[in-house]
Amino acid sequence: MIRYEIAATTVTTAPPERVFAVLDDFSNWPRWMPSLERVRIELPPNDHPRQGYRFKLHGMFVHAEMEVIDYTPLSRATRFRISFPPFQGINRCRLVPLDDGRYRIERLDQLELPDLVAHVIDATQRKRFEQLALEFLHALRRVVEQTPNGTITSSSPTGQSD
């Protein structure tokens, strides 16, 4: 098993409640999160995000099992297991208050790849993972700074409004 980390940061004017309202709204991830446009999200009925909360992502070729493992006022973390290529890891977002009233959003991805998968993923693919982490933070910042209550108001990918 080979492990590596990808870290990215940005600064936002949005308060933690707004940031986490967007992050915790799993059903709306495909509306703003890069590379999830064609992913269906399966949430448990009548349950709310918290530590231990589990849900699934279904793409055309990729499926993922997700579990919230950290749920605090300034951080969230999700453990994931991807079906193809098979690997697992943790995505963590932490907000750090700054002296000027803004917040630094820190994203840390910890990936655990089987040796065979790690050898196939070259430096180019790792750069792509790093780029996706930055795109994620920029998209998150854009959403939380443009919507006062942190909700997504665009229509769903199927063209239907929720």
The CATH number of the domain where 28 resides is what? 3.30.530.20
69 within some domain: yes
Residue 20: domain span: 2-146
12 within some domain: yes
32 within some domain: yes
Segment 135-153 shows an average pLDDT of: 77
45 within some domain: yes
Kindly tell me if the per-residue pLDDT of 44 is higher than 90: yes
Distance set, CA 104 to CA 1, 33, 93, 139, 146 (Å): 32, 19, 10, 15, 17
Give the pLDDT band (50/70/90) at residue 53: very high
Mean of the per-residue pLDDT values of the chain: 85
Kindly tell me if the per-residue pLDDT of 109 is higher than 90: yes
More confident: 123 or 40: 40
155 within some domain: no
Nearest to 2 by CA among 137, 125, 94: 125
Domain count, the chain: 1
154 within some domain: no
Geometric angle at alpha carbon 156, from 154 and 162, rounded to 5°:
80
- Whose tokens are 């990918």? That residue is 157
Q: Strands 2-12, 103-113: parallel, antiparallel or unpaired by DSSP?
A: antiparallel
17 within some domain: yes
CA distance 38 to 159: 13
37 within some domain: yes
More confident: 153 or 53: 53
